[in-house]
Structure 1
Amino acid sequence: MPTSQPGAARPSPDRTTPDSLLHTRTGTEVSPEDMVLATGRDLTPRNLAWARRKLDEEGPGAIEKVLP
């Protein structure tokens, strides 16, 4: 069973992908369910209402703000 080696090389910080190049949308519409699940919340009527409001106010790009 492989284990991590102490002092093993880690990726250089300059090799990380800049935020401007990260994308989550696939060209499909973002649903309220997508928004709720992206935040790690349960699909409850209250959370779905929050997601609908968020999408109405900010559009499909709102999901970008809730993802890490």
Structure 2
Amino acid sequence: MSTSQPDASRPSPDRVTPDNLLHTRTGTEVSPEDMVLAAGRDLTPRNLEWARRKLDEEGPNAIEKLLP
């Protein structure tokens, strides 16, 4: 029985994603749907209204507060 070596090109499961890949802003508008999904919530009318209020109050950078 042979033992195989893990493929060195595959990322390790405990490897941390670099910070520059975690930013969400791509120059496009942040939609209420984006906010709801980033918060881990279901797309319901109540959650969409929450997201609209959050975007109105905090602007598109509000999504950055929800993600690492």
Q: TM above 0.5, one fold? A: yes
Gaps of 5+ in 1: 5-9
Q: Which amino acid aligns with 1:34?
A: D
- Note the aligned Cα RMSD (angstroms): 2.5
Q: Count residues with an aligned counterpart.
A: 56
Deviating runs (4+, > 6 A) in structure 1? none
Greater RCO (CA < 8 Å, at least 6 residues apart): 2
- TM-score, length of structure 2 as denominator length: 0.68
- TM-score, length of structure 1 as denominator length: 0.68
Larger radius of gyration: 2
Share of identical aligned residues, percent?
80
Higher helix share: 1
The alignment partner of 1:53 has SS state of helix
Per-residue deviation at 1:25?
0.5
